[in-house]
């Protein structure tokens, strides 16, 4: 049975070019980039080339890119780092109720240590109110952490407007761009972003690798101590092959028009929804479908059919979709994103799946998936009537 992968918000298949790059580096370049002899210097050159590729993609300086183990480490480093650095300035941090757990959990730890964390509400499309953000800012606010693109409903936050608001305060602006990199244009200068987190495996790169952009004027404390790698900002021998692959993945993305990519994903969504409409399936789209949404995510409720049943039937038919964030998929807790959007008692909480598209998905795959989804919905909705 052919497997069709439609869970690209969880992870993405590695690009063939990235695989070739990593393989070649593993064969030819095993030196430690901290060593001063030739093998070490070659490894260092590989890392710095990738750092340059990545910095150009977000309009940053090369020395502002810190390689990490992924988005979670980048988020933790930014949040705990600013909290330690600015403790004497204030204890207020602003975020949203729909952030990724790697942002929410560090903030809950800081609350235990006396920090005041404000969790902004979102509307039914997953967007915050800029008026609420302005009202929450005080002279004691040290950090505003708001994601670029929500990983469950695809809502895109107005980063430039948020950056302008935060720039007029004492706070630093941190963006979790794990779902944003590759799907929307990012410019840390234009958007006045101070810190930005990403993950390689979300953009057809290797797992267990990411980067943290840190504005050069910020003297951020390290989260990991030991060696002097990453100019003393992140201890640990660098993963040279992985970093080379990460750089190549970002380089590939720089050649892709994000608007055209979004149009392709929007077409995928329309194919699925058209088939549901034609078959008179009762459904709802969770989140918006307009210009402020990344169309690589389609969060869909099939009315009256549980997430578990729908996901299991699709899996048996050869289609991989999820019931929400991959980081909480094994949890019995309801999606905190859908709860924030629709309320704890909404039937959407237990009857929704997340379909997420990637660069390698085709129209033929989506058409076949849509027909299978209709078939399963007809069968299960009829049984539940």
Contact in structure between 40 and 34 (CB atoms under 8 Å): yes
Contacting residues for 354 by C-beta, under 8 A, at least 6 apart? 7, 9, 152, 297, 298, 299, 300, 321, 322, 323, 324
pLDDT digits (tens, 9 = 90+) for 118-155: 999 999 999 999 999 999 999 999 999 999 999 999 99
Contact in structure between 123 and 147 (CB atoms under 8 Å): no
What is the rounded average pLDDT of the residues 180-207? 98
Please state the separation of Cα 82 from the chain's center in Å. 21
pLDDT for position 173: 98
**Which of these, 71, 107, 70, 74, lies nearest to 92 by C-alpha position?**
107
Is pLDDT at 330 greater than 70 in this prediction?
Answer: no
Say what percent of the chain tops pLDDT 90: 90
- Alpha carbon distance 190, 188 (integer Å): 6
Is pLDDT at 176 greater than 70 in this prediction?
Answer: yes
Say what percent of the chain tops pLDDT 70: 96
Q: Where are the alpha helices (DSSP H) in 181-318?
A: 229-232, 240-253, 258-278, 307-316
Q: Which two tokens stand for residue 9?
A: 């918000």
Is domain 4-12+257-384 given the CATH code 3.40.50.10800 in the classification?
no
- Alpha carbon distance 350, 286 (integer Å): 12
Average pLDDT, the chain: 95
pLDDT for position 201: 98
What is the rounded average pLDDT of the residues 336-343? 97
Half-sphere exposure of 228 (CA within 13 A, CB side): 3
Instruction: Please state the length of the chain.
Output: 385
pLDDT for position 222: 86
pLDDT digits (tens, 9 = 90+) for 31-63: 999 999 999 999 999 999 999 999 999 999 999
pLDDT digits (tens, 9 = 90+) for 293-316: 999 999 999 999 999 999 999 999
Of 224, 327, 339, 368, the active-site residue reads 327
Provide the pLDDT confidence category of residue 70 given band limits of 50, 70 and 90. Answer: very high
Helix 363-384 vs helix 258-278: crossing angle, to nearest 10: 40
pLDDT for position 228: 87
Is pLDDT at 200 greater than 80 in this prediction?
Answer: yes
Domain boundaries defined on the chain: 4-12+257-384, 16-253
pLDDT for position 2: 73
Is pLDDT at 104 greater than 90 in this prediction?
Answer: yes
pLDDT for position 15: 98
Specify whether 341 is catalytic: no
- Alpha carbon distance 65, 102 (integer Å): 20
Task: Kindly report the CATH number that applies to the domain delimited by 16-253.
Answer: 3.40.640.10
- DSSP letter at 210 equals E
pLDDT for position 326: 52
Contacting residues for 27 by C-beta, under 8 A, at least 6 apart? none
Provide the pLDDT confidence category of residue 233 given band limits of 50, 70 and 90. Answer: confident
Lowest-confidence pick of 10-19, 75-84, 244-253, 331-340: 331-340
- Count other C-beta atoms under 10 Å from residue 362's C-beta: 11
- Count other C-beta atoms under 10 Å from residue 88's C-beta: 7
Contacting residues for 255 by C-beta, under 8 A, at least 6 apart? none
Is pLDDT at 234 greater than 70 in this prediction?
Answer: yes
- Alpha carbon distance 364, 326 (integer Å): 26
If phi > 0 it is left, if psi is from -120 to 50 it is alpha, else beta; for residue 242 that is alpha
Is pLDDT at 329 greater than 60 in this prediction?
Answer: no
**Which of these, 98, 70, 94, 83, lies nearest to 157 by C-alpha position?**
98
Element (H, E) at 39: helix 38-57
Provide the pLDDT confidence category of residue 331 given band limits of 50, 70 and 90. Answer: low
- Alpha carbon distance 99, 338 (integer Å): 12
Helix 307-316 vs helix 363-384: crossing angle, to nearest 10: 130
What is the rounded average pLDDT of the residues 70-96? 97
């Amino acid at each position: 049975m052919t497997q069709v992968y439609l869970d690209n918000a969880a992870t993405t298949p590695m690009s063939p070019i990235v695989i070739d790059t990593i393989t070649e580096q593993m064969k030819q370049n095993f030196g430690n980039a901290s060593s001063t002899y030739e093998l070490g210097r070659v490894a260092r050159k590989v890392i710095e080339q990738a750092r340059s590729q990545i910095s150009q993609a977000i309009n940053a300086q090369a020395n502002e890119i810190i390689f990490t183990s992924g988005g979670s480490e980048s988020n933790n480093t930014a949040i705990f780092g600013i909290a330690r650095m600015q403790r004497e300035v204030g204890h207020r941090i602003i975020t949203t109720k729909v952030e990724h757990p790697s942002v929410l959990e560090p903030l809950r730890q800081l609350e235990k240590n006396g920090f005041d964390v404000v969790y902004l509400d979102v509307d039914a499309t997953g967007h915050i109110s800029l008026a609420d953000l302005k009202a929450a800012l005080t002279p004691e606010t040290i950090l505003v952490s708001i994601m670029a693109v929500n990983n469950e409903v695809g809502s895109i936050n107005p980063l430039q407007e948020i950056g302008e608001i935060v720039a007029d305060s004492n706070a630093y602006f941190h963006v979790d761009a794990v779902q944003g990199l590759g799907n929307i244009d990012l410019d840390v200068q234009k958007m006045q972003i101070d810190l930005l987190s990403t993950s390689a495996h979300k953009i057809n790169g290797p797992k267990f690798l990411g980067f943290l952009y840190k504005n050069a004027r910020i003297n951020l404390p390290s989260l990991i101590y030991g060696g002097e790698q990453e100019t003393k900002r992140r201890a640990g021998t660098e993963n040279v092959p992985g970093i080379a692959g990460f750089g190549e993945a970002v380089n590939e993305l720089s050649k892709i028009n994000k608007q055209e990519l979004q149009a392709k994903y929007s077409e995928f969504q329309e194919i699925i929804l058209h088939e549901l409409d034609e078959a008179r399936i009762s459904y709802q789209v969770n989140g918006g479908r307009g210009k402020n949404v990344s169309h690589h995510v389609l969060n869909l409720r099939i009315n009256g059919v549980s997430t578990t049943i729908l996901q299991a039937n699709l899996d048996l038919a050869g289609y991989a979709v999820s019931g929400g964030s991959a980081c909480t998929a094994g949890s019995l807790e309801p999606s905190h994103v859908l709860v924030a959007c629709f309320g704890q008692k909404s039937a959407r909480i237990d009857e929704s799946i997340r379909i997420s598209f990637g660069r390698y998905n085709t129209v033929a795959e989506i058409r076949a998936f849509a027909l299978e989804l209709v078939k399963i919905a007809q069968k299960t909705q009829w049984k539940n009537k």
